Structure 1
Amino acid sequence: MKRPSLRWATALIATALASHAWADAGYPEQLHIGYQKGNSLVLLKSRGTLEKALAAHHVQVSWHEFAFGPPLVEGINAGSIDLGFVGATPPVFAQAGAAPSVAYVGYSEPYADNYAIVVPAHASARTFKDLKGKRIAVAKGSAGEYLLLSALDQAGLGLADIQESYLGYSEGRAAFERGDVDAWVVPDPRLADTEISSHARAVIRARDLPAQYSFYIAPKPFAQQYPKVLATVLEQLDATEQYAKAHPQEVAKLLSDDTRVPLPVWEKALARQPWGVHYPLSEQVLKQQQQVADTFYRYHLLPQPVKVAEAAVEVKP
């Protein structure tokens, strides 16, 4: 049997290399994104613009759905997920616990009218102070719990002045509708849903309290090694949010189909959604997030104090 010619062997190697395009320098071959239903990552996934933006750098994108935040944070800490989106509290608890690899890389606009403490339509309470001595449902360790603690601080009250009931969102809604609790701390779209279905009334909203942001997080080693790919994702996310702002009906329909939440609920929620994705973290954002950490520690809900700035990675294109 004749040995293959040098020309033939060279062509064979070239074909093999072409079938496996290596990622450009400074880019990973794979980008694993963790997401939950109902947020901007879902919109980005549906549009396909990220895949197009990264194709030039030979980066493959994979999407991994999570039912809620803690497993997503665990995936980030373990390095199996490269980017995710969470509220203000999960990174704080991660930094104070056993998840030192979780890093902040970007942030959204702060909550405004889309997070509130609500009471039934017939309730006599008109302000948050009127809830003194009342039972309030809140998800433990959530952005809502920080909202509640901030409301207590602003009113000059403490945890001893209310009856805090730790309930998940589904259990919280059921307890609220049965009258087992007097108030409920809830974000959109659940907030919009209960306002429409039961005419619940807000006694205080997030815009009336210290700013609270949500964050894009990544494993710190990944963020330090691949800032360019994260910058691309965040830029595409901001473009997606600006698109959503300009096309609310289209986006409401997509999210309604994705979550099975009624279309009017998403229409109400999106009408008051603060749009915008930013990076790197500004001094003001770091300061506000440090206030979140300090508040949870002051209320003995964190095992140790943390310095938020130590978990921030400055992502640049």
Structure 2
Amino acid sequence: MRPLRGLWWRTFVAFVVCFGCQVPAQADATWPATINIGIQKGDPLVALRASGELEKAFAQHGVAVRWMEFVYGAPLVEAINTGDVDVGTVGATPPILAQAGAAPGVVYVASAPRMQKSYGLIVPANSPARRIEDLKGKKIAFAKGSQGHLFVLKALADAGLPASAVQFVYLNYSDARAAFERGFIDAWAVPDPRYADTELATGARTILSIGQLSVPQYGFYIGSREFAQRYPAALRLLFDVLDRQTALELAHPAQTAQFLSQNTGVRLEIWTRALPRLEWGVHYPLTDEVVKAQQDCADLAYREHVIPRKIDVREAIVDIR
């Protein structure tokens, strides 16, 4: 089998090119001059950026592609709210905070597959904890407003524990990793590839995977309402190219891990461990099942005073078909 940029990659390029004519078209009112895309480590947009294939697809319509990387979802939401980013992917929590707070113009445009093993609640290798009930009175870290925030709240609710039963420690990923290694926190809700990195480096144990929660959890592709309503064709092209490329990447995990390692600076063994757990893919429009699960998250956020008011998730969905 040839390297990732070999035969199968060129086959994909040829497939994408056939979407449009051979001579790039000039941008018109149907297409933006530029599409600004926000990415986070571990989401499939990282591989799409590294491949350069989206730029080729959008060149057929005279559209430039600009990428911006974020550490977690909350800053990405803010960038969409200010107009610096047009579309990006996040977990369940950031769009709920946006709708209930100061960024009501942020909307759902597509969803990712159900999260199963890409997010874990981990403890140090020598910890006596085997389940979340064993963390009563202990410190659990996560990035405030991240997917991990509602992950932990839902896990506690499933166990019949109030949020007051544990101590929340709000830390970004780099600070949480340092605190975890030094024993300053007792548990950490963390996504891949940082999850895999911590397992390999410290021997951390997983006491709960996100797929074990009582209600499914999903990732989402979000954008500004103005952009989604004005340029639905641009979003459809983005997602269709992403979907096809993702299928190819997941069919060749060893090559994809090597490719991602070379293009992200994250070690090969980390991607090799993380890749089989990542729920890559994109679906639009949002299904009733996905909306119901996200509404459960929103209701939980309201009950736990994460958001100041109740919200109806459907009011923040734009159908781009």
Alignment TM-score > 0.5, same fold:
yes
Which of these residues, 111, 135, 138, is aligned with residue 134 of structure 1?
138
Which of these residues, 58, 63, 70, is aligned with residue 62 of structure 2?
58
Provide the rounded CA distance (Å) in 2 between the counterparts of 1:98 and 1:52: 36
The aligned runs of 1:190-229 (5 Å cut-off) are 190-209=194-213, 210-229=215-234
Contact 1:138 1:145 in 2 (8 A): yes
**Residue 32 (structure 1) shift:** 2.0
**Residue 67 (structure 1) shift:** 4.4
Q: Mean Cα displacement is larger for which, 149-158 or 109-118? A: 109-118
Is 1:277 equivalent to 2:282 in the alignment? yes
Cα displacement string for residues 234-260 of structure 1 (whole angstroms, at most 9, x for unaligned residues):
111111211220122222223323443
How well do the aligned residues superpose, as a CA RMSD in angstroms? 2.0
- Which amino acid is 2:281 matched to? G
**Residue 301 (structure 1) shift:** 1.2
1:207–1:167 Cα change, 3 Å: same
Cα displacement string for residues 120-174 of structure 1 (whole angstroms, at most 9, x for unaligned residues):
2222222221222222122211111111111111100011211222222222222
**Residue 88 (structure 1) shift:** 1.3
Provide the rounded CA distance (Å) in 2 between the counterparts of 1:59 and 1:73: 23
1:30–1:276 Cα change, 3 Å: same
Segments of 5+ residues of structure 1 without an aligned counterpart are 1-18
- Which amino acid is 1:232 matched to? L
Is 1:167 equivalent to 2:171 in the alignment? yes
Which of these residues, 286, 290, 295, is aligned with residue 291 of structure 2?
286
Contact 1:230 1:315 in 2 (8 A): yes
1:187–1:38 Cα change, 3 Å: closer
**Residue 79 (structure 1) shift:** 2.6
Is 1:85 equivalent to 2:65 in the alignment? no
Cα displacement string for residues 169-190 of structure 1 (whole angstroms, at most 9, x for unaligned residues):
2222222222222211111112
**Residue 70 (structure 1) shift:** 3.1
- Match of 1:117, SS state, is strand
- Which amino acid is 1:77 matched to? N
**Residue 213 (structure 1) shift:** 1.2
**Residue 65 (structure 1) shift:** 3.3
Provide the rounded CA distance (Å) in 1 between the counterparts of 2:39 and 2:190: 20
Is 1:125 equivalent to 2:119 in the alignment? no
Partner of 1:249: 254
Provide the rounded CA distance (Å) in 1 between the counterparts of 2:253 and 2:172: 28
Provide the rounded CA distance (Å) in 2 between the counterparts of 1:43 and 1:97: 32
Provide the rounded CA distance (Å) in 1 between the counterparts of 2:27 and 2:84: 19
Cα displacement string for residues 238-294 of structure 1 (whole angstroms, at most 9, x for unaligned residues):
112112201222222233234432211110000222232111111111111111111
Segments of 5+ residues of structure 2 without an aligned counterpart are 1-22
Contact 1:38 1:259 in 2 (8 A): no
- Match of 2:114, SS state, is coil
- Match of 1:137, SS state, is strand
Contact 2:26 2:62 in 1 (8 A): yes
Which of these residues, 174, 180, 186, is aligned with residue 176 of structure 1?
180
| Misfit runs of 4+, over 4 Å | none
Partner of 2:245: 240
Provide the rounded CA distance (Å) in 2 between the counterparts of 1:275 and 1:74: 24
Contact 1:82 1:219 in 2 (8 A): yes
**Residue 68 (structure 1) shift:** 4.1
Provide the rounded CA distance (Å) in 1 between the counterparts of 2:46 and 2:308: 34
Provide the rounded CA distance (Å) in 2 between the counterparts of 1:137 and 1:278: 31
Contact 2:50 2:263 in 1 (8 A): no
Identity %: 50
Contact 1:38 1:258 in 2 (8 A): no
Contact 2:24 2:62 in 1 (8 A): no
1:68–1:130 Cα change, 3 Å: closer
Q: So what's the TM-score if we normalise by structure 2?
A: 0.87
Q: So what's the TM-score if we normalise by structure 1?
A: 0.88
Provide the rounded CA distance (Å) in 1 between the counterparts of 2:133 and 2:196: 23
Provide the rounded CA distance (Å) in 2 between the counterparts of 1:110 and 1:119: 24
Provide the rounded CA distance (Å) in 1 between the counterparts of 2:134 and 2:72: 32
